[in-house]
Amino acid sequence: MASNKKYWKSEAELNPNDSIVEALRQNEFVEDIPVDEFLGDKETLESTNTNRRDFLKYVGFSTAAASLAACEGPVIKSIPYVVAPENIVPGVANYYATTIANGFDFASILIKTREGRPIKVENNKEANVGGGANARVQASVLSLYDSTRLQGPKSAEGDVSWDVIDAAVKSKLNSGKQVALLTQTYSSPSTSRLIAEFKEVNNNVRHVTYDAISEEAALAAFEARYGERAMADYDFEKADLIVSFGADFLGDWQGGGYDAGYAKGRVPKNGKMSRHVQFESNMSLTGANADKRVPLSSQFQKVALAYVYAKLNGTSAGGDLPADAQRVLDGVVSGIRKTKSRAVIVSGIDDVNVQAVVLAINEMLGSEAFDVKAPRYTRQGNVAEVQSLIADMKAGKVGVLVVDGVNPMYSMPNAADFKEAVEKVDVSVVFSTNWNETTVVSTYAAAANHYLESWGDAQIKKGHYSLMQPTIKELFDTRQLQASLLKWLGSDKSYYDYIKETWSTLILNGNDFNKAVHDGVYVAGESVADPVLMVSNADKEVDASENESDGVSVNINAAVSALAGSTSGDGMELLLYSKVGMGDGQQANNPWLQEFPDPITRVSWDNYVTVSKADAERLELINENVANGGLDGSYATISANGVSVTAPVIIQPGQAKGTIGLSFGYGKKEGMKSEMKTGVNAFALYQGFNKIQSVSLSKADGNHEFACIQLHKTLMGRGDIIKETTLEIFNTKDHAEWNHVPQVSLNHQEVPATSVDLWDSFDRTIGHHFNMSIDLNACTGCGACVIACHAENNVPVVGKAEVRKSRDMHWLRIDRYYSSEESFEADNTKKNEFDGLSGDNGSLGGFGELEDPSANPQVAFQPVMCQHCNHAPCETVCPVAATSHSRQGQNHMAYNRCVGTRYCANNCPYKVRRFNWFLYNNNDEFDFHMNNDLGKMVVNPDVNVRSRGVIEKCSMCIQKTQKSILDAKRDGRPVADEEFQTACSSACNSGAIVFGDINDAESEVAELKESNRMYHLLEHVGTKPNVFYHVKVRNTTEA
């Protein structure tokens, strides 16, 4: 039966007279297709004599030609040494012990060289003093190959020879005017001796040490109390209670390098771990690791410190504190009373009174963690002397100014002042590895060696000496200051000979110099320290009169009452700080460090004003995640004393209300690649070399585009990602309670997720089976592993714009989570109590609330790299089998097989796979280091440089495990446990990352795997990863 149903597509069709219906019947499209628009205008199209056929011919011809040309392989040349050096075997790495002492970072390190090229920084296990290699030190090897380095001495007219500079300096020596050396902190015995000698031979020589970020207060307080210009050393491993008043000791506080000791005390052993209470204004790395963090402006920190001193002393000090801070402080005081010598107090406030009181308290407690007998020498800068030098320069009293290792035109708050002063100096010679703000105003820019090309030494801590040896010949026509001083002295000695002489006569006490060079470190008995070796002591004699004004004797009682009475200035309190990635900005031209995401804000390629949420609301400052996945922020202007700086704003959870933060190290302009000119210069606000400034903050126009790699800030109550518990529960309850294995339903029965398996498991009991352990208690989030991974695995730098598009390539990231409530535990409780979808307690609104971090959140760090799942979801979806599993537990990635479908990245629950959107090497669009011959020298020859269109990811450093295995095979022995390392595990100073073979029952990692703190990330997914984590335990014991 025929149907007379009428089907219609649109209402218009119902009306037979509608013109649209007719039009549609005639034309497929209602509107004209704008062919001309996308093919170009009609006229040009018609006027051209290339028709379609020609076009096809060209295409055909060029395709054929290209394929024919591709058939002929390139001729590859191989150029061996003409005369091979004895100790270089092509393909085998050599390691040299050396020391970095660039005035900001001091560490004894090993340098891995391949065919004579330094390619990687490793920790020197024999060095037991100072820090290991932090992120900046790890990255310093790339600064050696910076293509913007000064390649020879220069004057304003252009290139000059060293003879010209030598002659210019020599002609001005002994001219009656002063000869001033303005340098970084060397803490170098040989340099001190050399400068002393230089002073003896020449009249009127003065040596002024200048630190870009000054520790004047700590130095002055220590000097007043102990008679030596140095800083107390701390071993946080020996402390059960750590109380910090604004000291970012896991960052760069007093030279940094305290994380290893701290982390050791943080891992619960026999039911005990240290407790860490932090009072601070900015959210620092240290605060993020604290058991209890109290956001407090520095004014209140001072009052609190005075309160603690008074309480312990049995007296009382005035001053009011916010109630919650007061409560925590009372807990701290009773805690200190209990732990006594096992407690330690530190502070980072630039105030002599504060530092004096800190020393007094620690001495009063007899703190075991506190060491004044062998203090640290890593900061020697003297503000008063710097200021008097500038005054003398302005008065025209200085004939020669030699600057080394510092960039005062950039790092002085009164740069204009310095410029005026330099112009009055007859000859100024600036030793610098790069063209910078100071070389611009100087007579001569003396191209200096990178530390990897230099000889040198350092006394990081009293009696603990380190040697610096070159690991490569000077790449350019450069000379270090010490060599120049020797030349100006008329000596024909090399600086190496000079160091050897210094060490043999003054330090080694008959021990072998070559052994010291080999080890890189030498520990002397206490008696050895010679006064001539210490810069500070030499300077003290000269400037004793000036130091008096700094308060050589600090009256503690007066100091305490001064602190108790401290009041806030009007406006906001700015705390300037140094970022883990950038430090004082010496290596601002280092792309690894620029791309290194800040551990707290997770922002790369920028510095910014950190503002508390309350203040942001008041000033209408916003952060928003925009549609393209980037983070945008308002601009704000900081003004103080006529200086104003406009910087983008990051709303920082945990920032004390009424305070803001801004980091040093950015905003460099001279001698920088355009990509690296990021951020604003915070040194402009560093008035009086005090990190705390009273400023006013106002909103500025415009929006800033950040390159932030983690937009989601909270855990949303997903306690199984970062498992946390308190020390009390950890000690008293069964691990099933605090380290709960997720349950799944199998045959309507709740069973542990680990017991259910979709796949047949492989037998992995034979051979090696690599596992990695990450202890969330020990991990401080410092990020040294991130840079180490960069260097080891040739991870490309992609630049700010790409990072903003979430195309960062880091194989290893350190996730940072804030709690939404007061603690993560409260988050979990809140989530579990959700009832229904909507309503007061509904999950819809509730999860929305959980997205917002608390005003003072708990913070947790979690390093995440490829988890090398035994049941890897990525492997099953790869259409070309480019990723596959090995018997050794590593998830392999054959780049040459990958066709770039990215299914694996989509199917990875951990989101650790990275896609090469572009060709990052040999591409001038990515002007970082892989596009020039110099920068490419840092590339590790054992690891592929990936091309465009492939996925890459953590390989668990298979090149390193394979090498360890091969070494053992060649020697015919089993592999020792400590031989198995990845770049991250060997870079980890705090011992958080441990790598090894779990089939070796004796190995450390096998033992860690048996720990009841062990858990896997997203265990309920059933991926059975070969990376496991250890439950984070917080010590919440209040008293």
Cα separations in angstroms, 46 against 33, 41, 57: 18, 9, 19
d(CA 790, CA 146): 16
Minimum CB distance to other proteins smaller for 93 or for 523: 93
Ramachandran quadrant class, 477 (left: phi over 0; alpha: psi -120 to 50; beta: rest)? beta
For other proteins, which residue of 76, 323, 627, 758 counts as binding (CB under 8 A)? 76
Interface residue with other proteins among 71, 323, 627, 758 (CB under 8 A) is 71
Quickly count: other Cβ atoms within 10 Å of residue 61's Cβ: 10
CB under 8 A: which stretch of 70-78, 376-384, 480-488, 746-754 binds other proteins? 70-78
Asked if residue 884 binds other proteins (CB under 8 A), the reply is: yes
Which of residues 274, 466, 659, 890 is near other proteins by CB under 8 A?
Answer: 890
At its nearest, how many Å lie between other proteins and the CB of residue 947?
9
Contact 349, 304 (CB under 8 A): no
Q: Which stretch binds other proteins (CB under 8 A): 52-60, 117-125, 960-968, 1014-1022?
A: 960-968
- Closest CB to other proteins among residues 748, 973: 973
940 vs 93: CA distance, rounded Å: 10
Q: Among 454-462, 608-616, 888-896, 1016-1024, which window interacts with other proteins (CB under 8 A)?
A: 888-896
Residue indicated by tokens 């011919």: 57
Please report how close the Cβ of residue 16 comes to other proteins at its closest, in angstroms: 57
Q: State the minimum distance, in angstroms, from the CB of residue 400 to other proteins.
A: 38
Q: What is the distance between the alpha carbons of residues 791 and 784, in angstroms, rounded to a whole number?
A: 11
Phi, psi of 659 (to 5 degrees): -120, 155
Whole-number Cα distances in Å, 943 to 738, 795, 938? 41, 10, 12
Task: Please answer whether residues 638 and 609 qualify as being in contact, where contact means their C-beta atoms are separated by less than 8 angstroms.
Answer: yes
Question: Residue type at 67?
Answer: S
Site for other proteins in 524-543 (CB under 8 A): none
Which among 1029, 995, 1026, 1028 has a CA at the least distance from the CA of 868? 1026
Q: Write the single-letter amino acid at 196.
A: A
Return the residues of window 410-429 that contact other proteins according to CB under 8 A. Answer: none
**Tokens 């028709």 identify what position?**
51
Residue among 473 and 970 whose Cβ is closer to other proteins: 970
Select from 12, 966, 976, 1039 the one that contacts other proteins (CB under 8 A).
Answer: 966
- Our CB check for other proteins shows the closer of 359 and 956 to be 956
* Nearest-approach distance from CB 885 to other proteins, in angstroms: 8
Q: Which of 181, 893, 908, 912 binds other proteins (CB under 8 A)?
A: 893
What is the pairing mode between strands 883-885 and 859-864?
unpaired
The residues in 80-109 that bind other proteins, with binding defined as CB under 8 A, are 80-84, 89-92
**Does the footprint of other proteins cover residue 79 (CB under 8 A)?**
yes
Give 90 or 318: the residue with its C-beta nearer to other proteins. 90
Count of positions on this chain that bind other proteins (CB under 8 A): 51
Residue 499 belongs to what H/E stretch? Answer: helix 495-502
Residue 918 CB, shortest distance to other proteins, in Å, is 19
**d(C-alpha 303, C-alpha 308), whole Å:** 9
Beta carbon of residue 90, minimum distance to other proteins (angstroms, whole number): 5
Report the residue number, 58 or 81, with the smaller CB distance to other proteins.
Answer: 81
* Residue type at position 169: V
**116 versus 742: smaller Cβ distance to other proteins:** 116
The nearer residue to other proteins, 55 or 759, going by C-beta atoms, is 759
List binders of other proteins among 853-882 (CB under 8 A): 882
The reply on whether position 970 binds other proteins by CB under 8 A is yes
Question: 328 with 1032: CB under 8 angstroms?
Answer: no
Extract the tokens encoding 60: 């055909």
The smaller minimum CB distance to other proteins, of residues 47 and 78, is found at 78
| 894 counts as binding other proteins under rule CB under 8 A | yes
Binding mask 926-955 for other proteins (x = CB under 8 A): ----------------xxxx---------x
Q: Helices in 651-782 by DSSP H: which ranges?
A: 727-732, 735-738
Stretches 440-448, 564-572, 958-966, 1029-1037: which one binds other proteins (CB under 8 A)?
958-966
Would you say 117 or 493 has its CB closer to other proteins? 117
Among 117, 424, 897, 1024, interactor with other proteins by CB under 8 A: 897
Q: How far apart (Å, rounded) are the C-alpha atoms in residues 332 and 240?
A: 12
Cα distance between residue 550 and residue 552, in whole Å: 6
Q: How far is the CB of 463 from other proteins (least distance, A)?
A: 39
Taking the complex as a whole, how short is the minimal distance between the CB of residue 893 and other proteins, in angstroms? 7
Q: Rounded to the nearest whole angstrom, what is the least distance from the CB of residue 568 to other proteins in the complex? A: 57
Cα 1011 from Cα 1004, distance rounded (Å): 11
Residue range at the interface with other proteins (CB under 8 A); choices 142-150, 371-379, 924-932, 968-976? 968-976
Stretch that binds other proteins, among 76-84, 153-161, 409-417, 1028-1036 (CB under 8 A): 76-84
Q: Which of 87, 896, 933, 1010 binds other proteins (CB under 8 A)?
A: 896
895 binds other proteins (CB under 8 A): yes
Q: In terms of CB distance, is 67 or 747 closer to other proteins?
A: 67
Distance CA 307, CA 564 (A): 7
Q: Under 8 Å CB-to-CB from 809, ≥6 apart: which residues?
A: 795, 796, 797, 798, 914, 916, 920, 952
Going by C-alpha positions, the residue among 510, 74, 575 that lies closest to residue 281 is 575
| Residues in contact with 502: Cβ distance below 8 Å, sequence separation at least 6, in sequence order | 189, 190, 193, 457
Select 11 or 971, whichever has its Cβ closest to other proteins.
971
By CB under 8 A, the residues from 340 to 379 that bind other proteins are none
Select 617 or 967, whichever has its Cβ closest to other proteins: 967
Q: Quick one: which of 609, 677, 600 has its CA closest to 645?
A: 609
Question: Measured from the CB atom, is 80 or 490 closer to other proteins?
Answer: 80
Asked if 640 contacts 574 with a C-beta cutoff of 8 angstroms, the reply is yes
Between CA 80 and CA 83 the distance in angstroms is 9
CB atoms within 10 A of CB 293: 24
Q: Which of 17, 549, 765, 832 binds other proteins (CB under 8 A)?
A: 765
Give the nearest distance from C-beta 71 to other proteins in angstroms: 6
Q: Which is nearer to other proteins, 209 or 961 (CB)?
A: 961
Q: Please state the closest distance from residue 471 (CB atom) to other proteins, in A.
A: 19
Give the DSSP letter of residue 1013: T
240 neighbors 567 (Cβ within 8 angstroms):
no
**Closest alpha carbon to 243 in 351, 364, 346:** 346
Residue closer to other proteins, measured from CB, 465 or 770: 770
Pairing of β 1032-1034 and β 724-726? parallel
Q: How far is the CB of 774 from other proteins (least distance, A)?
A: 22
Is residue 973 part of the contact set for other proteins (CB under 8 A)? Answer: yes
Least distance CB 880 / other proteins (angstroms): 11
User: Residue 594: helix, strand or coil by DSSP?
Assistant: helix
Amino acid at position 941, single letter: P
- Of the pair 58, 762, the CB lying nearest other proteins is at 762
Contact status, residue 376 vs residue 460, Cβ threshold 8 Å: yes
The yes or no reply on residue 969 touching other proteins (CB under 8 A) is yes
Using DSSP's 3-state secondary structure scheme, residue 289 falls into helix
Contacts of 279 (CB under 8 A, 6+ apart): 243, 244, 245, 246, 293, 294, 296, 300, 301, 304, 325, 328
Q: Which residues bind other proteins (CB under 8 A)?
A: 71-73, 75-84, 89-92, 763, 765-767, 882, 884, 886-888, 890, 892-897, 942-945, 955, 958-959, 962, 965-966, 968-975
